[in-house]
Amino acid sequence: MNIVLCDDDERFLRFLDQKLQTYLKTKKIPFKIKQFKSGEELLRCNMAQMDLIFLDIRLAELDGLQVARILRRSNPDFILIFVTSYIEYAPLGYETRAFRYILKEQIDALFDGMLNTILKEMGYFRTEVTLDFSFGVETFFTDNLLYAESKLHAIYFHFYEKTRHLYNTLDSIQKILPTEEFVRIHKSYLVNIRHLEDVKNYTAFLDNGIELPISQKKFSETKKRLFLYRGRL
């Protein structure tokens, strides 16, 4: 894993570098970490091979938002984490497709959980489930499942390119799928939170364009889960 740290606070750079090294060595994941103290210095490097970038927002000349916009032009796929002391920039941070926006004071409390989620996003840790569908047994990665739908005594599993079904209850299926990945938005829908783009007006907007109803009872919890997933709380 190729990681970049960019912050004009040298003490925080050392702190973050040490936390990453400790975590990744424990997970036995090979890595390289590069440190930069300004956005200009960072932009002079070849970022094509970068996987993960921790970027401060308040930098001396080019700020982190400007740097992120430029970096996205050459490498749209890296995972971007804004780490800053200024919560007011969060909405702008997500406009640059930041994966997380973390306050520096939150690092100790959120670090391990955040890295676990990032590694899953990058494919290091994936959960496989095997189910006996109507046509036969199939194994799939849970991160590929968009949502499960209960309809006419059957459960329909919706993926990007296919739909499978079996006869069971959504309550039973919910117990099988990873709790941290899925959120129950309605008595008939169980949604993979990684594919949940937005929540508003009692509607769940998925990243494939699908819109699903959220029950009044489930709305607050669904919104909270989405915000927590994105690191906003």
Rounded mean pLDDT, 123-144: 91
Per-residue pLDDT at 91: 61
Per-residue pLDDT at 93: 56
Q: Could you give the CA distance from residue 85 to residue 15 in angstroms, rounded to a whole number? A: 15
> Could you tell me the CA-to-CA distances from 163 to 134, 135, 158 in Å, in that order?
11, 11, 5
- The 10s digit of each residue's pLDDT in 1-50 is 999 999 989 999 999 999 999 999 998 889 999 999 988 998 888 777 78
Q: Could you give the CA distance from residue 110 to residue 91 in angstroms, rounded to a whole number? A: 19
CB under 8 Å to 21, separation ≥6 — which residues?
Answer: 31, 33
- The 10s digit of each residue's pLDDT in 147-157 is 999 999 999 99
Q: Report whether 104 contacts 82 (CB < 8 A).
A: no
- The 10s digit of each residue's pLDDT in 169-205 is 999 999 999 988 999 999 999 999 989 999 999 999 9
Q: Report whether 205 contacts 193 (CB < 8 A).
A: no
Predicted TM-score (pTM) of this structure: 0.61
Q: Could you give the CA distance from residue 16 to residue 111 in angstroms, rounded to a whole number? A: 10
